[in-house]
Structure 1
Amino acid sequence: MKILAIAGSNSDVSINKQLVSYAASLFENAEIEIVDMNDFEMPIYKHQLETESGVPQQAVDFASKIDASDLLLVSLSEHNGTYSTAFKNVFDWTSRIKGRKVWNDIPMFLMATATGPRGGLGVLEAASKRFPLHAGNVVDTFTLPHFNDNFDKENQNISNTEKDSELKEKIAKISAVEIILEK
């Protein structure tokens, strides 16, 4: 199984990148690629720019990574209740590829974390509603509130046993479905 793990943040110390990396590590016998939004930095989407220059190669490259995957793990950073600008720009440009369904019906497990009590719930709700309109096949979601209290940065894992168990149960279900689909 090929897994594309996407952290929807361009922060060099992204807590969502830490979460998605940990979640990816829980899948057995998987080929994992972790995407850094900084590798897909493009001009802010503008229709006039698209008309003049077309879709940037970075958006095409991002779409190719999606298409080469069997499962998408997406952990979204929440900025003012929605996606980070870095993620939204990649999403916007990718949606402009002619004939493209952004997520191409690849199964996706959406996650979010934040340092506050909602754990990125706003962005998770926004993505859960928006992504299916762009061929997002959302199979499950997970949120980790109070990241600094519930994630062990030294060992790179969830220290809250309840939340860790919840994540592992969801991954076990997703893995079981993926194994059935591969047969």
Structure 2
Amino acid sequence: MKVLAFGATNSRQSINKQLAKYAASLTGSTQIELIDLNDYEMAIYSIDKENENGIPEKAKNFIRKIADADVVIVSFAEYNGVYTSAFKNVYDWASRVEHKIFQSKPAVFLSTSPGGAGAKSVLNFAVESAKYMGADLKASLSVANFYNVFDEKNSRINDPAINAQLKHAISTLNLF
């Protein structure tokens, strides 16, 4: 099974990228691809730009990455309660290639933050939007207080209860 994972942010030191990477490692797959939204940076979407220049290759490449995957794991960073502008822009461009960008792939949506809310606002928004994005959403999980529950040295969650919840969420992908 090919697992595609990413943090829905362009932050280079993103805790959501760390969470997505760890979650992907729990799948047991030997085919994990962790992508970085910085590799898909494009001009801010507008119909005028699309009409003038067409759809950027980066948007097409993003859609191909999803098409090539068997499952998708996304960890959403929260900016002002919603998606990051980096994710929203990739989504806007990619949806011009394939309206339902996740192409009915089984998916797990995650979120985390340093605070007690665990970026639940954006996760709830993503869960509600999953059907419009074409995700076959199997599970979602918000991880609060990231720096208290994640061992950055060993790149793993060190809280047994949260780790069990994450393992359960990943198990819903039915990889085996």
TM-score tier after normalising by the smaller chain length: over 0.9
Q: Provide the residue aligned with 1:169 in structure 2.
A: 168
1:171 Cα deviation after fit: 1.9
1:100 Cα deviation after fit: 3.9
Q: Provide the residue aligned with 2:81 in structure 1.
A: 81
Contact kept? 2:139, 2:172, Cα under 8 Å: no
Structure 2's unaligned 5+ residue stretches are none
1:41 Cα deviation after fit: 0.5
Is 1:46–2:46 an aligned residue pair? yes
Q: Structure 1 counterpart of 2:114, which letter? A: T
Structure 1's unaligned 5+ residue stretches are none
1:26 Cα deviation after fit: 1.0
Q: Provide the residue aligned with 2:130 in structure 1.
A: 131
Q: Structure 2 counterpart of 1:162, which letter? A: A
Residue of 166, 175, 178 corresponding to 2:175: 178
Is 1:110–2:92 an aligned residue pair? no
Partners of 1:131 and 1:93 in 2: how far apart?
A: 17
Equivalent residues in 2 for 1:16-55 (5 A)?
16-55=16-55
- Structure 1-normalised TM-score? 0.92
How big is the alpha-carbon RMSD for the aligned residues of Structure 1 and Structure 2? 1.1
Q: Provide the residue aligned with 2:14 in structure 1.
A: 14
Identity %: 38
- Structure 2-normalised TM-score? 0.96
Q: Provide the residue aligned with 1:57 in structure 2.
A: 57
Runs of 4+ off more than 3 Å: none
Q: Provide the residue aligned with 1:152 in structure 2.
A: 151
**Range that drifts further, 100-109 or 84-93:** 100-109
**Range that drifts further, 64-73 or 154-163:** 154-163
Partners of 2:12 and 2:29 in 1: how far apart?
A: 28
